């Protein structure tokens, strides 16, 4: 029988052997998940002996992580904007920088009575669920080309009890929006990694996260172009298009906004000083 302390040492050694950064922290997080406890419990009870089934689950988790499978796919959950979300390999793992996009959407829609929004590329549903939880008067539509992603998003909006204000549709960008539908906001975290950069990504991302949600073609901006071109008919007069971009893309993206269609297109930088959020308002028609 093995104690918590010995399990942690064994797991950390396996992860260190394959170059996993901060192997001790990852091993303790995986053990806490397998034992269904928190890391504080592990620290307080290093001598406790783990039962057979949780111990086997832990070493299975360690083996998966050693093959560079992302931690959050192994545990099946990720926190975003103070909420816990189910994640699977069908969806991107929510990133901390994307909380900025959710934050700006909440600020904008909180000032609109009975606001309505559309998220393009809904993925796990983390942005939309965060908006719906924090803006009780909002309702929305979530679009994604992946049926598997739609099902994950459905689980998450139901989990946070906002599904009754949210409709999910399988759609290639905005193709699933009905003629005459109007939104105060169209929001998106689109694929924006240039195809040539995929090979240089960390193996956790390159080999495990859905490629369709990562790359937007040769320059990474094929979906962004479609968003900018296709959004105006579906926005209320003065409505907003808001989306995330990658490093060094701001100048090229801002040039896509035609001044006869859009007003006040601009970017906001993240905490690293990288232009991250693009926002533009459509002109009144």
Rounded to whole angstroms, how far apart are CA atoms 11 and 165? 44
Rounded to whole angstroms, how far apart are CA atoms 266 and 161? 34
Residue 285's pLDDT band (cuts 50, 70, 90): low
For strands 235-244 and 275-282, give the pairing.
antiparallel
Task: Check residue 12 and give its pLDDT.
Answer: 96
**Is it the case that residue 208 has pLDDT exceeding 90?**
yes
Rounded to whole angstroms, how far apart are CA atoms 234 and 227? 11
Radius of gyration of the chain (CA): 21
- Domains defined for the chain, CATH in brackets: 4-67 (1.10.8), 77-282 (3.40.50.150)
Give me the half-sphere count of Cα atoms (radius 13 Å) on the Cβ side of residue 247: 4
Question: For the ranges 36-45, 100-109, 239-248, which has the lowest average pLDDT?
Answer: 36-45
Question: For the ranges 1-5, 19-23, 90-94, 178-182, which has the lowest average pLDDT?
Answer: 1-5
Q: pTM for the complete prediction? A: 0.94
Q: What mean pLDDT do residues 84-97 have?
A: 97
Q: CB-based contacts of 186: which residues, under 8 Å, 6+ apart? A: 117, 118, 119, 120, 174, 227, 231, 234, 235, 239, 240, 241, 242
Query: Using one digit for the tens of pLDDT, what is the confidence trace for 155-181?
Result: 999 999 999 999 999 999 999 999 999
**Is it the case that residue 142 has pLDDT exceeding 90?**
yes
Residue 27's pLDDT band (cuts 50, 70, 90): very high
Q: What mean pLDDT do residues 52-78 have?
A: 96
Task: Check residue 1 and give its pLDDT.
Answer: 64
Q: What mean pLDDT do residues 89-108 have?
A: 97
Task: Check residue 17 and give its pLDDT.
Answer: 96
Classify residue 49 as left (phi > 0), alpha (psi -120 to 50) or beta.
beta
Query: Using one digit for the tens of pLDDT, what is the confidence trace for 234-259?
Result: 999 999 999 999 999 999 999 999 99
**Is it the case that residue 284 has pLDDT exceeding 90?**
no
- Please name the helix (run of DSSP H) or strand (run of DSSP E) that holds residue 27, with its range, or none: helix 23-35
Give me the chain's average pLDDT, please: 95
2 or 253: which carries more pLDDT confidence? 253
Q: What mean pLDDT do residues 182-202 have?
A: 96
């Amino acid at each position: 029988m093995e104690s918590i302390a010995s399990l942690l040492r064994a797991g950390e050694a396996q992860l260190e052997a394959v170059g996993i950064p901060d192997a001790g922290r990852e091993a303790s997080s995986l053990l806490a998940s397998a034992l269904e406890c928190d890391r504080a419990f592990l620290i307080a009870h290093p001598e406790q002996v783990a039962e057979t089934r949780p111990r086997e689950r832990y070493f299975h988790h360690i083996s998966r992580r050693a093959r560079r499978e992302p931690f959050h796919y192994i545990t099946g959950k990720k926190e975003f904007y103070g909420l816990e979300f189910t994640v699977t390999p069908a969806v991107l793992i929510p990133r901390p920088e994307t909380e900025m996009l959710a934050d700006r959407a909440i600020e904008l829609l909180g000032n609109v009575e009975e606001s309505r929004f559309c998220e393009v590329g809904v993925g796990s549903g983390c942005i939309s669920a965060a908006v719906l939880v924090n803006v009780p008067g909002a309702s929305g539509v979530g679009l994604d080309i992946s049926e598997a992603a739609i099902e994950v998003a459905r689980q998450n909006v139901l989990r946070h009890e906002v599904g009754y204000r949210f409709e999910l549709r399988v759609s290639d960008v905005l193709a699933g929006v009905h003629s005459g539908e109007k939104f105060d906001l169209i929001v998106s975290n689109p694929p924006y990694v240039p195809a040539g950069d995929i090979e240089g990504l960390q193996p956790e991302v390159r080999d495990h996260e859905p490629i369709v949600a990562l790359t937007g073609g040769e320059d990474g901006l094929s979906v962004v172009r479609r968003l900018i071109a296709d959004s105006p008919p579906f926005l209320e007069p003065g409505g907003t298009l808001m989306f995330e971009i990658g490093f060094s893309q701001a100048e090229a993206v801002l040039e896509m906004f035609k001044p006869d269609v859009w007003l006040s297109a601009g970017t906001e930088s993240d905490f690293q000083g990288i232009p991250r959020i693009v926002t533009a308002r459509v002109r009144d028609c």
